[in-house]
Amino acid sequence: MRPVLVLTHAAHEGPGLIAPALDAPVRVRTVVSSDSPVLPALDEVSGIVVMGGAMDADDDRFPGLDAEKRLLAEAVAADVPVLGVCLGMQLLALALGGELHRRHGTEIGFAPVDVVADDPVHGRLGPQPTVLHWHHDAVSLPPEATLLASTTVTPVQAFRAGSALAVQYHPELEPRMLDLWLATPEMVDGLSDDEIGSIRSDGAKYLPDLAPAARAMVAGFAEQVRARG
| 86 counts as catalytic | yes
Among this protein's residues, is 44 annotated catalytic?
no
Q: 172 catalytic, yes or no?
A: yes
Q: Which of 13, 68, 107, 172 is catalytic?
A: 172
Active-site option among 9, 122, 135, 170: 170
* The pLDDT of residue 138: 97
Residue 229 pLDDT > 80: no
Among 203, 220, 114, 210, CA closest to 157: 114
- Is residue 1 pLDDT above 90, yes or no? no
Q: Is the pLDDT confidence value at 36 over 90?
A: no
The residues facing 47 across adjacent strands are 4
Provide mean pLDDT across the span 179-203. Answer: 96
Burial class (CB in 10 A: 0-12, 13-18, 19+), 156: buried
Tens-digit pLDDT profile for residues 124-181 = 999 999 999 999 999 999 999 999 999 999 999 999 999 999 999 999 999 999 999 9
Q: Is the pLDDT of residue 200 over 80?
A: yes
Q: What percent of the chain lies above the pLDDT cut of 70? A: 100
Domain extents in the chain: 4-228
Task: Identify the three-state secondary structure at position 64.
Answer: helix
Determine which one of 68, 86, 107, 133 is catalytic: 86
Q: What is the CATH number of domain 4-228?
A: 3.40.50.880
CA distances from 145 to 57, 90, 163 (A): 19, 13, 11
Predicted local confidence at residue 23, as pLDDT: 86
* pTM of the predicted structure, to 2 decimals: 0.97
Per-residue pLDDT tens over the stretch 76-100 = 999 999 999 999 999 999 999 999 9
- Quick: pLDDT tens for 42-89: 999 999 999 999 999 999 999 999 999 999 999 999 999 999 999 999
CB atoms within 10 A of CB 100: 17
* Rounded Cα distance, 125 and 209, in Å: 10
Radius of gyration of the chain measured on its C-alpha atoms: 16
Rounded Cα distance between 42 and 48, Å, is 9
